Structure 1
Amino acid sequence: MSHRGRSIAAKRSLRPHLMFQGKLAEALALWERAFPDMALTRLDDGAGPPASVEVQLAGQTFTAFDSPPVHDFDFTPSVSHFVACPTQEDAETLAAILGKDGTILMPAGPYDFAPWFTGATGVNWQIEVAK
């Protein structure tokens, strides 16, 4: 790669973008309970429920929006938000909040990865105690 190419690449940024179908406000309320230090910036006109936002959870920034059209797809379990918690108690509390009314994809067990579940808003999570 040329010097110019590295310079341009160093100025790029990458962040996840989540598309909801009518559940953005519900997700934001849930995340606010789970992550009390959540930072939120509305990217829409600010009227009514949020339609487009920039969110920061546990130091990770991403954007999210509510799609007006209904699509034949939703979130896939192959992409999850992986959260490392400082204590077992914190991990259990966070999993209870985010997993309420959700679906367990892989329960806690004797393997080298975190329990994996889909929350009620369709977002996939893995919660573990930091090693």
Structure 2
Amino acid sequence: MKELSTFFMFSGDNAGRAKEAIEFYVGLFPDSKIESIELNGPDRPDPADHVRVAAFTLKGRRFMAIDSSAPHAFDFTPSMSLFVDCDNEGELTTLHDALIVDGQALMPLANYGFSRLFAWVNDRYGISWQLNLPE
């Protein structure tokens, strides 16, 4: 096995937003970068400005993404989320405040008794994030 990567497919209302999401995430997290973004060519069924395939890292972890304008019976779900252990309250609130814009709080920022501070949000693209400040 060469590698294991988390893979995002931006479809439905988010089709065509993969590049925007990748740039947003890479800008939020240190030690992050876009490795490659390949857009569709004229011979592809999806629009030319949609991502055919992209690879990027967040905090040194590899992710991949595509856009798909084809109809699918599924989309992102909070049952699979990205869990982020933050170093301090300032880092957690910065991430929370950026990710919640045009998103949704599944568990608002609070102390739930299992950590100092925690929030679970869906961002504007439908990706689910658990933001944690451990005890």
Query: Normalised by the size of structure 2, how large is the TM-score?
Result: 0.76
More strand as a share of residues:
2
CA RMSD of aligned residues (A): 2.2
Aligned to 2:107: 106
Asked if the contact 1:34–1:98 (Cα under 8 Å) also holds between the matched residues in 2, the reply is no
Instruction: Give, in angstroms, the shift of residue 16 of structure 1.
Output: 1.3
Instruction: Give, in angstroms, the shift of residue 40 of structure 1.
Output: 1.1
87-96 vs 108-117, which moves further:
108-117
Question: Which structure 1 segments of 5+ residues have no match?
Answer: 1-10
Identity %: 31
Instruction: Give, in angstroms, the shift of residue 34 of structure 1.
Output: 1.2
More helix as a share of residues:
1
Count of matched residue positions in the alignment of Structure 1 and Structure 2: 121
Asked if the contact 1:26–1:121 (Cα under 8 Å) also holds between the matched residues in 2, the reply is no
Q: In the aligned structure 1, how far is the partner of 2:61 from the partner of 2:121?
A: 19
Aligned to 2:124: 120
Query: Normalised by the size of structure 1, how large is the TM-score?
Result: 0.78
Q: In the aligned structure 1, how far is the partner of 2:40 from the partner of 2:32?
A: 18
- State the structure with more CA Rg: 1
Q: 2:24 matched to 1:30?
A: yes
Q: 2:68 matched to 1:67?
A: yes
Any idea what the Cα deviations from partners look like across 1:7-36, whole Å, max 9, x if unmatched?
xxxx45322111112121221232133125
